[in-house]
A and B are shown apart, each in its own frame.
Chain A
Amino acid sequence: KNEVEQSPQNLTAQEGEFITINCSYSVGISALHWLQQHPGGGIVSLFMLSSGKKKHGRLIATINIQEKHSSLHITASHPRDSAVYICAVSGDTDKLIFGTGTRLQVFP
């Protein structure tokens, strides 16, 4: 069983829609990370959080430690948001354990 599970695996949306990507994990963590991977392959860190909620522009990340669950929300989605969104966790050590990613396509 994967230690980090994401849903959905694939997501399509119309421009302007509100998007939610979910992440569940089964291990104890010190932090949860949301990352973005573009078609060229590069990975960009979006958020690192250990409790509560963080917001950056149109992106919002929340985490519920008791339920071992996190969500990434994108408001007013845009075609340039099309990418793979990856949830990853760090535990006792600083290495990241990655989920399989959610492929998002936003159409105009």
Chain B
Amino acid sequence: EPEVTQTPSHQVTQMGQEVILRCVPISNHLYFYWYRQILGQKVEFLVSFYNNEISEKSEIFDDQFSVERPDGSNFTLKIRSTKLEDSAMYFCASSGFSEAFFGQGTRLTVV
């Protein structure tokens, strides 16, 4: 069964450092998303991406965040200068014209 793959599964980074979270969506999907879940809280939408551009972003997705689909298969989320409050589980998802499929998540810990 096709699946969304995220790497790494866990990343620890120093405050102020840049991190790149990587995702390989399902190959024939057209819509891509990043969500995050702070420990103990609900999952929150960050950004959606369609046709090589951002289609929607939340208030959380400020100038420190960016997304890219550099090579037609990978979908990346970059956080330029991490803060302690960026510590969370980050989920990538992709969809065709129906339900979304989620990756297993990257747990980001900022120290």
For the residues of A in contact with B, the DSSP-based class is: strand
Instruction: Please choose the segment from B17-25, B72-80, B102-110 that sits at the chain A interface, where 4 or more of its residues have CB less than 8 A away.
Output: B102-110
> On chain B, which size bracket covers the interface?
20 to 34
Assess the B105–A97 pair: CB atoms within 8 A.
no
- Which one of B33, B43, B99, B105 contacts A86 once the chains associate, using CB atoms below 8 Å? B43
Interface of B is mostly: strand
A97 near B91 with CB under 8 A, answer: no
Q: How large is the interface on A (under 10, 10 to 19, 20 to 34, 35 or more residues)?
A: 20 to 34
**With A and B bound together, what is the CA distance between A88 and B37 in angstroms?**
14
Q: Which 4 A-B pairs have the closest CB atoms?
A: A43-B102, A42-B104, A48-B99, A98-B43
5 contacts between A and B (CB under 8 A): A40-B104, A41-B107, A45-B100, A86-B42, A88-B43
Where the two chains meet, the residues of A that have a C-beta atom closer than 8 Å to any C-beta of B are 33, 35, 40-45, 48, 86, 88, 93-101
